[in-house]
Structure 1
Amino acid sequence: MKQLLKWVVISFAVMMLVSCNITNENEKPNEKNNIEAENAGNNEVLQQENSIIEPKNPDAPLIDTDKSINQREALLNLFEAAKDEPIISILEPGDDYMNINMFNRPLEEKQPISVETSIDVTDVLVQLLQSSVLTEYGIDTFMEEDESEATNIEEFSENGKEGVYYQTDDGVYGMAFEFDGRLYNPFISNVQSTEDKEKMQTLLKLMTKSMNTENEGAYNPIYDHFTIDLNEVKFPSFNEERVEMESIGVLNNPSETPSSRHTNEVRAFYNIEHLTYVFHIRAEQLEIYDEDSKETESLKADNGTEVIKHMSINDDGEVNDTSYEWKDGSYYYVINTSDTEDLLSDDEILTIIDSTIKDKREFDHLNSFQNLDKDFSLSKEEKELAEIIKEFAS
């Protein structure tokens, strides 16, 4: 179950997304060369969920502009619902070290909206996960199965939140608690020194007092750092009678390039029969594979746009990941899958890409993709929590 709590969260992100990503809570993910493992984790989860999803029509065309999936509506639903989702409220405008992942999962009844808050400072990771796994199985099962080796377990009830604090021998300090009918798993990992551990005890307790929603006055940094113009992005006109959109969202992650502190992305997961394809839109080119583990091929879209097909090759010479990349306007697009059998043909992928390039649909509005017009101010506890975090960042 521990693997199920480890999401496509990339380090710490302000991600508004619909996805089922899994990250190791004791590791700092490396986005550049880790997309393969990330998508593999998604496939495993999606395959489990797909067993209860009504199958689509495999004989229907992939693309249909009259019956297409409405990605923009799903994003608007996410942005509006996220206003009532708690985040770690320790930032004010100008602060620049926290990221948030926000997800919309249309098929998830228990948790269709999820906001994951992460703070990535030096080697210490502070993360707030909202997990559908936790919500389904409860705190007791989580502690028995996921944290069976946890020590120093302490129950608490504070500010409408009930749960337990715990720690592990490998440097994880965490808690699981119930809030507004849902369960959350904030944790701090890679804690090594005794001094840090003492700070972690204080930090965890302060986190229970520092979870607020945007509607309650929390500052969400994604709006100030998200540089992709959502009015300029394009989506494939997938036929809703054949394709299922599992999730969609926006990400704001630590940048790996010196030109920018933040890397932005729009990401969506699609189920096409037994296959899962991930659709990425980024302002920076996505480095997918190491040079020594890939093969490339150049294809052409209908309008002449070059499409680069990347194939990741394992040690046995087998393809274990396939991606198609192209640029349209200011943004880079990637379609990626970790599935290996009965994949869509190059021609079918090009049909998807052609529909994306031709996409003329628009958002009805983007009024909800901004901070609310409120004066942002931190409480005494939130300021204390922020100071502890800044000590790690300095």
Structure 2
Amino acid sequence: MKIQAAVTRAQGEAFSIEEVTLSGPKANEVLVKIVATGVCHTDAVGRDLGVSPYPIVLGHEGAGVVEKVGENVTSLQPGDHVVMSFAHCGQCENCLTGHPTVCSAFNELNFGGRMDDHTCRLHQGDTDLHTFFGQSSFGTHIVAHERNVVKVDKDVDLALLGPLGCGIQTGAGTVLNSIRPAFGTSIAVYGCGAVGLSAIMAAKIAGCQQIFAVDVHDNRLELALELGATHAFNGKNVDVVKEIREASGGGTHYAVESTGVPPVVRQSLHALRPLGKVAIVGVTPEMNIDVHNDLMAEGKGMIGVIEGDSVPRVFIPKLVEFHKAGKFPFDRLVKFYDFEDINQAFEDSANGTTVKPILRLA
């Protein structure tokens, strides 16, 4: 079938919306009409850093309606409202033990440019267009394996739900699935973008007594306070480590680091109390830490977390229920853009104008 999709032809080039051909779903796959899709920093990485082959159709936070199912599909049917998340094999030890975010084939399936049968579903003439995260949601329709398609409640605005597939589940899941803060403990969240603000909302749900928000944009810090943070510090204006250690009585029990900025990563370690734990979710370049003084000498822990250590088909419906109950107002983070304004949406995301852009396709 002919669809419209935003094609990325070379590293760093702007998106171009063009007509492309989408092959129908094979066994265990579904065809989904995309209603809306989130814009994520990982899409910018795919456009600018060459982590996947070109030409490619990016996008990995799609939400839409199932139009057709392939053979052997049992969990979905036409008309279902769905959110797409990351691809995983469903067969390796990590998938089978509830950790598909560290699937042994994660990089191949999400960044390798092809479906799990090593073919492409998108084409332009004789040219294959590569797939991103097993979905390529920057298109009016997508084909995805039923494993990474999550059925959601029809009572909620479907256009809002796409970011649950990656950025928002990353922040919330890091708190609720991975570090699991004990009731009444303290946590610091470094970076108040979509991931960090989702972590703050999750920390409030978990019952953290002190929730510290750290950023360099006052407007995001104000929003963090409205969403559950108890303290907010602008890293350009104050000594973050000093302020947090004083306010928390010696450092926080937990931290979530979403910036990927090496000096901020060090702050997240230095502002922990003994036995504290920091979860690293930002894409961080090579950096040096003092293992003895920053970690071992005070029994601190530092872990990496991908996609919030979530099982999407279990976790995303839970987030929807929290949202319906008014406990997870992630709609406060988003701004909608028309599909043809995709390049503006990416620019606004990069400069901080918009926390979480969502593209409307239908």
Q: TM-score under structure 2 normalisation?
A: 0.26
Structure with a larger share of its residues in helix: 2
Higher relative contact order (CA 8 A, sep 6+): 1
